[in-house]
Amino acid sequence: IPFGLHHVFYLPFWQTAVGGTMEVAGQLVQGGQNIFFAQLADPSTVHFSADATRYFSGEFIFMIFGLPGAALAMYHCAKPEKKKQAGGLLLSAALTCMLTGITEPLEFSFLFVAPLLFGVQVVLAGSAYMIAHMLNIAVGLTFSGGLIDLFIFGILQGNAKTNWMLIIPAGVIYFILYYVIFRFLIQKFQFKTPGREDGDGETKLYTKADYKARQGEQTKSGDPAGDERSILITQGLGGKKNISDVDCCATRLRCTVVKPELVNDQILKQTGPSGIVKKGQGIQIIYGPSVTVVKSNLEDYLVNAPDEEYLAPDEENVEEKEVRETTPQNTEAKTTKKVLCSPFTGEVHPIADTPDEAFAGKMMGDGYMVMPVEGVVYAPEDSNVTFVFPTNHAIGLTTVDGVEYLLHIGVDTVKLEGKGFEMFVKDGDFVKKGDKLMAFDIQYIKEHAKSEACIAVFTGLTEEEEVVMKRSGHVNAQEEIAEIVSC
C-alpha cells in the first residue's frame, strides 16, 4: 500500500495499537496517537514521547521535502516540448503533498511507470522514520505529515517539546537524496515518468484506476492470471453484472445479487468454503477468519472483470455421484482431548441452538453458544490473539497448545460498525486465562442486531474431533463448559 494511503487504512491502528502503552497524568494510555494527544493536554509534559510518535514524525521529512525532490527530478527529466505541461502537474502534486501529506498522485505514478522508483521511495521513507526517532523528534498528527499538521502539532507546541526544527536539516538532506536518486534512475533506465511519454502520449499523473486498468490489460494478454478464487466466486454469483454489493463479517463473505437464480452452488463450492447460506438476494459464503483477504481480492478482481452475467454451461445431466459405504457403528469410547472453559457468563446452549444458520449448521466448526448476562469476554486460557475484527465484534485466539478459537459476539453485529463494543487487546497480544478481552453492551446489541448470542467456535478441529457439552443452564466465565473429544 503506498505510504500516502496509510491515513485511510492505518489511522485506527495508530490510535489503539502502535506506540505501546504509557502512563500520562496518572492514566494508562494505549496507542501512539492517543499517547501524543494525552501529553498534549497535560500541562506537565516537558517533551512529547518520541517512542509514541515514532510512526508519525518521519512522515514530515519525506512528505514535505523528499517527494517534492522526486517531483523536481521528474520535471528536469521531462522532454523539452512537454516540460511546461509536466511542470504544472508535478508542481500541483508536490504542493498538495507538502501541505496536506496526500502523496497518491506522485506515488501511483511511480507504481505505474516504474515500480523500482516506488521501491526506492519505500526504503527512503522507512529510513526517515528511523532518523526522526534517532533525533528524538516528537511531532504528532491527525491526518498526514504535511505542513498543516507540522504547524499545529510541531511549530505551535515549541521546539523544546517536539524538536521540530531538526526536521528542516534532515528534510534538506532527503530532498537532495530523492532528487539525485530519482534523476539518475529515470535517465539510466529511461523510465516514462510524466513528460517523458513516447510520441504524442498524454502527459498526466496516474491514479489507482490507471494502475488497476494496466493490471487488467496484463491479465487479458495472458501475463499474470487473475486470482482464481475471485474468478470462481464471480462466476458462482452469476457474473459481475449480477453482483450488487460485496461485504464481509468476521468469517463470511456477504454478497447481494440481482438475480438469485443465477447463483451456482457447485461453482462456489470449488472456492473452498465451509458453507453457503442463501436468503433471498443475500448470499453468505463462509471462509473463516481469512475472509477479509478473500473480500479484498474479489473487489480488486471486480474492477476489471467483464460486466456480464455468467451462466454455467450445461453438464448434460451428468451428476457427480457419491458412494456412501455403510459401516458398523463405532462403539469405542470417546477420548477426551481437552477441557474447555467458558469466556462468557450466561445460559449455555449447544451450538445448534444458535439463531444463525451458518453457526447452527457448524459450517465454521463445532462449538457452543451462551446467552450472556454479563457484557464481558474473558480469555478462556493462555492464548495468542490472532486477529481482532475491525468492527470489534469478533476475536480469534490460538492457545499455547494450538487450539483455534473464534469468539463471535452477537448475530449480524458486523452492521453495528463497532458501536456497543470496547476492545482491550490487539492483534498479536499474548493473554493469560482470565484476562479481559472485550466488553459489549448487551442491551444495545439486543435492540440493534438479530441476537446477543455469544458463540465460541473451534475452527481447527479435525473430522475425528467434536465438542461435547459438560454443562447446561447458567455458567460463569472461566468455569468448565465443554470438552473436545476424539472419536
**pLDDT of the chain, 487 residues: tens digit per residue:** 444 444 433 444 444 444 567 888 888 877 778 888 889 999 999 999 998 888 889 999 999 999 999 999 999 999 988 899 899 989 999 999 999 988 888 888 777 778 899 899 999 999 999 999 999 999 998 878 899 999 999 999 999 999 999 999 999 999 999 999 999 999 999 888 888 887 666 777 776 555 555 555 444 444 334 478 899 999 999 999 999 999 887 678 889 999 999 999 888 988 888 778 888 888 988 887 778 888 888 988 888 888 888 886 654 443 444 434 444 444 455 677 789 999 999 999 999 999 988 888 887 788 999 999 999 999 999 999 988 888 899 999 999 888 889 999 999 898 898 999 999 999 889 999 999 999 999 999 999 999 999 999 998 777 778 899 998 899 999 999 999 988 6
pLDDT at residue 168, as a whole number: 97
Q: What angle do CA 130, 133, 137 make, to 5 degrees?
A: 135
Of 70, 312, 275, nearest to 191 by C-alpha is: 70
What is the fold of 335-486?
Glucose Permease (Domain IIA) (2.70.70)
Number of neighbouring beta carbons within 10 Å of residue 143: 12
Q: Would you state the pLDDT for residue 66?
A: 96
User: Residue 272 has what DSSP assignment?
Assistant: -
Range(s) of the chain covered by CATH 2.70.70.10: 335-486
39: Cα separation from own chain's centroid:
29
Per cent of the chain over pLDDT 70 is 86
Interior/surface letters 464-486, b for 16+ CB within 10 angstroms, e for the rest: ebbbeebeeeebebbeebbbbbe
Please report, for residues 8, 56, 101, 154, the alpha-carbon distance to residue 149 in angstroms, rounded to integers and kept in the order given: 16, 11, 9, 7
Q: How far apart are CA 258 and CA 430, in angstroms?
A: 44
Which segments within 202-307 are labelled E, that is strand? 243-248, 252-257, 275-279, 282-286
CATH architecture of 226-304: 2-Layer Sandwich (3.30)
**C-beta contacts of 91-95 below 8 A and 24+ residues apart:** 93/205, 94/67, 94/68
Q: Which amino acid is at 2?
A: P
Q: What per-residue confidence (pLDDT) applies to 325?
A: 42
Rounded-to-10 torsion of CA 93, 54, 417, 260:
60
Contact between 247 and 266 under an 8 Å Cβ cutoff? The reply is no
- What is the dihedral angle through the alpha carbons of 244, 247, 253, 259, rounded to the nearest 10 degrees? -10
- State residue 48's pLDDT score: 93
Rg (CA), the chain: 27
149, 182, 347 from 167: Cα distances, Å: 13, 21, 58
pLDDT of residue 156: 95
Cβ atoms within 10 Å, residue 306: 11
DSSP type of residue 414: G
Residues with Cβ within 8 Å of 425's Cβ and at least 6 positions away in sequence, in order, are 385, 388, 395, 431, 435, 437, 438
In the chain, the largest separation of any two C-alpha atoms, in whole Å, equals: 86
> Among all residues, which ones are annotated catalytic?
249, 408
Provide the β-strand partners of residue 245: 256
Of 179, 310, 183, 312, the closest CA to residue 239 belongs to 310
pLDDT on residue 171:
97
pLDDT of amino acid 211: 55
Residues 355-409 pLDDT 10s: 988 888 887 788 999 999 999 999 999 999 988 888 899 999 999 888 889 999 9
CATH 3.30.1360.60 intervals, the chain: 226-304
